[in-house]
Each structure stands twice: as structure tokens, then as C-alpha cells.
A and B are shown apart, each in its own frame.
Chain A
Amino acid sequence: MSLVTLQDLTIRHSGNPVLTNVNFTITKGEIVTLVGPNGSGKSTLLRAVIGALRPNSGQVIRAPGLRIGYVPQKLHIDPTLPLTVRRFLSLPTRVPNSMADQALDQAGAGPLANRQMSRLSGGQFQRVLLARALLCNPQLLILDEATQGLDQPGSAAFYQQIETVRQQLGCAVLMVSHELHVVMAASDRVICLNGHICCEGEPEHVASAPEYRALFGTGTQGALALYRHEHNHSHDSDCDHHSHEAAE
């Protein structure tokens, strides 16, 4: 079942084309990663999917009643706005405490409910954003460079959490990331974007595609192979996740 389909999508910012004739579909339970250099239209594509941008031509077709959980790239909260984590989770729809606690646990942000948003560390903040995105029991989770500003162990832990969440909820995940080797290995499909779709397919396919190498060089391939080994290993036995987390 397709959740979102983009048909011949073209978007311009003040006359300049950012995305040209993009065709894209994400289906139930799939993890799709968008990679591409700065200014290649990754965020623009995500914003079109959530409905924040109107296409200049083409169409965005969402499954009826689609529930989207969105984790933005960064969220600046003005220091004049007092906001506890618990209150933040009830925006825009009030949720009961049990649901809020469950979402915080799922996102690995358990004990933070009564903290002020402005006092959270970068990693805690991203986990709270993730918890909020989980509250609507999303069919599609969208992450826009959600680990920006986190150090490498921090972002690795965050993506681990995403994968745990995906297994629990069975939601599709659409994400943008710069950390190619971490993210690509966990993806079912990778789309290499540079104003248009350069190439797409399974991570191995994209990583060896000439279009991808032209954009990113060959340096990432070794890291990809390295990570993939580890990743496959943790999936050989399903209960391996605890030891994996403990090893961090």
C-alpha cells in the first residue's frame, strides 16, 4: 500500500527550480533515506510530503487519513516561551499521561517529562521530538537530518532508537541524513537526490552507482561495508538488541 506518492513534482524557490520532475513512492513499513549534497532539495522534498510546500507542478498524493510523525531538522524555541516536555507532547492534541509516558519511553526519553524544553541537551531534545512524533501512532515517520548537532555515538544511538521504534510500530520511515554510512545500511531503499533523482535502489546498488560516486566520491563505501557487517550481525538473532545497546 502506498502511503505517499509524488508525481512529476516540480518546486521552484523564487524562480529557481529546486526539484524537477521527481517521481517517488513510499509504501507501508519501508525505510527510505534521501541522500544528496547541500541544496539538492532533500528538505524541500520532505516539506512537500508534509504539505508545507505547494508544488509548482505535479502532485502529492497522500493515503486518505495518513498519520505523519514529523521530526524537524531543528526547532528553535524562543527563551520567552516556557514549555515543559509534557506540555510540548500535548501540542496540538492533548494526550493522556499514560500515552505521553509510553511515547517518551519508546523514544528513550523516559525521565524528562517535567523538564523545560530549553534546558535539554541536544540528544535529549531530539528524543523528545521523536516522542512527540510517535504520539499520533504514525504510519509514516519523517526525519529531517534529525541527528544534526549530535556527536557520532549520539547519532548512532538515535538511529538505533528509530529502528527499534520501526519494529514496534511497523511504520514507514522517510529520512534525510548526511551520515551516509550509518543511515544507508539501515535503509530498504536509498534515493540519491540532486535537484532530480540521480539514482535509487538498495543501499549497495546506490553506493556503487556512478551518479552517487560522482556526488560523494568512493570514500563512503568502506564505511558502509563495515557497518553493514555489524548490522547484519545484530539481525541474525532477533533478541540481540539489548546486548547491542549495552555495548554503547
Chain B
Amino acid sequence: MILFDSFLIYAALAGLGVAIAAAPLGCFVVWRRMAYFGDATAHASILGVALALSFEISIFAGVLIVALLMAATVSTLSNRGYAMDTILGVLAHSALAFGLVAVSFLQGVRIDLMAYLFGEILAVGLLDLIVIWAGALLVLSLLWWRWSALLTATLNPDLAYAAGIDPRREQLVLTLALALVVAVAIKVVGVLLISAMLIIPAATARPFAGTPERMAVMAAAIGGLSALGGLQLAFAFDTPTGPTIVCLAALLFTLSSVTTLLFRGPSA
């Protein structure tokens, strides 16, 4: 096997950590139709990178702060006249554009923009690994703790209220988890492909799951498989790692869809 070098072990563990945190959260993104929301938060994080570099704070902190600000902005602007996808379309791409411009202003800092746009999993160090797994475990425990309330609020806000659950608080929990995932995933898959790690494994798992819990567990397994397999493929074919991981996830999604079409008919 090729996974003997320590940087490869770090890379594998980093990919696995991001995948198993992103996939269950991604189920909520899919169920609540928040795909664009994930995009907006992720794209804004390049602005966080610029801020982190200019104020010399950690990238993780910079990204987390900007992702949270972005999420708060989206929540505030929703229901104010524009359709949600319009607001998110505006915010996602302008945040990315402002981020890229801000990075170009940084004097004397040589940064590899590609590394933040598409990730650089092979450069993950021990400290990064600790941050990634701490973040991933935090996201998973948040989801575990709020699971029933989150599901109820996802089904219908009024059902949640009648059961004494405040759906706005659950929305906040999801937002927080999303910002955390973006902050830990930036090193692994980069800002442009984070949404893929959220959505593709969840969508792949959907036809085979009968309950929300099974869908979340299967999504995590599919995400983990994509991360480890993608890493190996990238090593074998000398391709960029982040995109290779996403390509493998997309292939699995295609396989899942085709299988469903062939064996269960289009309605499944």
C-alpha cells in the first residue's frame, strides 16, 4: 500500500475527518434545500483567508468568523423581498469576488491562491489535523445533541413550535455547524468544492435509505470512501487531490442514480 508516508496518513485522516462531519450535515443541507447557502458560506471564506493573512491570525479563525458573518447576513436578508436563491446567488459570488480582490491587495505575502480555492490536502500538518478533527467532532456532537429537534424543525416550523422547539434556534445550530465545516474543510477541498462534500454523499445515499438516520450514516460512509479513494487515485494518477475526491464522489452518485433507475424505476 502507498499510505505509509506520514503526510499521506495525515492527508487520509484529514479527508476522513472532513467527510464524516460534512456528510451528515449535508443531509440537512439537502433536506432543507440550503445548497446555495453552503456555497455562499464557503465562497465567503476566501475573504476570511485574506483577513487572516493581513491581521496575522489563524486561517481557521479568520474563515470561521467570516463564514459566521456571511450566514448571519443571509439569515437577516431572507424574507426581505428577493427570493432566497437570488440573495444567495448575489452574496455567494460577490463574496468570492471581494475575497479574491482582497487577497490581491496583500502586500509582501506570497500566497498560493489555488491552495485555498481547491485545497491542499497533502500539506496538512499535525496541528491542522488536530483542528480538523476537533472541528469535525464538534459538528458531529452538535448534530447528535440536536438531532430530533433539527429534524422536527426541518419538517415544519409550526410542528416544532407546538412541541416547544424554537426552529430559529435550530437554524442557528445548523448555521454554526456549517461555518465550522467550511473552516475545517478549506485546507482539504478548498472553498470552491466544499459544497460538493456536503451535498454529493447525501444525494448518493438517498435512494438506499429508509430513515433520516440511515441516510446520514450512509452519507458519512460514502463521503469517507470518496476521501480515501480520491486520495489514492490522485496519488496514482498525479491529479489535484481535492478535485479528485469530488470526482470520485460524483462517480459514486452517478452509480447510485443509475442503479436506482435500473432496479427500482424512476419513482424510487
A92 touches B212 (CB 8 A): no
A142 within 8 A of B: yes
Q: Are A52 and B214 in contact (CB under 8 A)?
A: no
Contact digits for B201-222, partner A, Cβ 8 Å, 1 yes 0 no: 0110010011110110000000
B211 engages A82 (CB within 8 Å): yes
| Contact status of A92 and B149, CB under 8 A, knowing A51-B161, A84-B211 | yes
> How far does the Cβ of B211 sit from chain A's closest Cβ, in whole Å?
5
Contacts A50-B161, A142-B162 known; A82 to B209 CB distance under 8 Å? yes
Residue B158 at the A interface, CB < 8 A? yes
Residue of A nearest to B150 (CB): A92
Taking a contact as CB atoms under 8 Å apart, the answer to whether B158 and A92 are in contact is no
Task: Report which of B149, B154, B157, B212 forms a contact with A87, defined as CB distance below 8 A.
Answer: B212
Report yes or no: B214 in contact with A91, Cβ–Cβ below 8 A: no
Q: Are B154 and A47 in contact (CB under 8 A)?
A: no
CB distance from B70 to the nearest CB of A (A): 24
Using A82-B209, A87-B212 as known contacts, say yes or no to A52 and B158 having CB atoms under 8 A apart.
yes
Given A80-B30, A80-B206, A92-B152, also A75-B211 (CB < 8 A): no
CB distance from B169 to the nearest CB of A (A): 13
- Tell whether, in the assembled complex, residue A68 and residue B162 are in contact, meaning their CB atoms are under 8 Å apart: yes
In residues 45-103 of chain A, which contact B (Cβ within 8 Å)?
47, 50-52, 68-70, 72, 75-78, 80-84, 87-88, 90-94
Q: Which residues of B contact A136 (CB under 8 A)?
A: 163
Chain B residues near A76: list those with CB within 8 A: 156
Residue of A nearest to B214 (CB): A82
Cα–Cα, bound, A50→B164 (Å): 9
Which of B149, B157, B162, B206 has most chain A Cβ within 10 Å? B162
Q: Does A221 contact B (CB under 8 A)?
A: no
Q: List the B side residues contacting A68 at CB < 8 Å.
A: 162
Tell me whether A116 is interfacial, beta carbon within 8 Å. yes
A76 to B209, CA, bound (A): 19
B134-186 residues at the A interface, CB under 8 angstroms: 148-149, 151-152, 154-165
The residue in chain A whose Cβ has the minimal distance to the Cβ of B152 is A92
Give the dominant DSSP class at A's interface.
loop
Contacts known (A80-B203, A92-B163); A50 close to B30, Cβ less than 8 A: no
Is B33 an interface residue when CB atoms closer than 8 A count as contact?
Answer: yes
A51 to B157, CA, bound (A): 11
Are B210 and A84 within 8 A (Cβ)? yes
Give chain B residues whose Cβ lies under 8 Å from the Cβ of A75. Answer: 155-156, 159
Complex contact B156–A81 (CB within 8 A) = no
Residues of B within 8 A of A77 (CB): 155
Contacts of A52 in B (CB 8 A): 157-158, 161-162
- B51-63 vs A, Cβ < 8 Å mask (1 yes, 0 no): 0000000000000
A80 touches B157 (CB 8 A): no
Q: Is the CB of A70 within 8 A of B159?
A: yes
> How far in angstroms is the closest Cβ of chain B from A205?
30
Which of chain A's residues have a CB closer than 8 A to the CB of B148?
90-94
Q: Which residues of A contact B149 (CB under 8 A)?
A: 92
Closest partner residue, chain B, to A14 (CB atom): B79
User: B151 near A72 (CB under 8 angstroms)?
Assistant: no
A32-49: CB near B (< 8 Å → 1, else 0) gives: 000000000000000100
* Given contact pairs A70-B163, A91-B159, A92-B165, a sample of 19 additional A-B residue pairs in the complex whose CB atoms are under 8 Å apart: A47-B161, A51-B161, A51-B162, A52-B158, A52-B162, A69-B162, A72-B159, A75-B156, A76-B156, A78-B32, A80-B30, A80-B202, A82-B206, A82-B209, A82-B211, A87-B212, A90-B148, A91-B148, A93-B163
Ordered by A's residue number, 27 sampled pairs between the chains whose C-beta atoms are within 8 Å are A50-B158, A51-B162, A52-B162, A70-B158, A70-B159, A72-B158, A75-B155, A76-B156, A80-B31, A80-B202, A81-B31, A81-B155, A82-B210, A82-B211, A82-B214, A84-B210, A84-B211, A88-B155, A90-B148, A91-B152, A91-B155, A91-B159, A92-B149, A92-B160, A94-B148, A116-B210, A142-B162
Binding site for B on A (CB under 8 A): 47, 50-52, 68-70, 72, 75-78, 80-84, 87-88, 90-94, 116, 136, 142
User: Which 10 pairs between the two chains have the least Cβ-Cβ distance?
Assistant: A70-B162, A52-B161, A92-B148, A92-B152, A50-B162, A81-B31, A82-B209, A87-B211, A91-B152, A80-B30
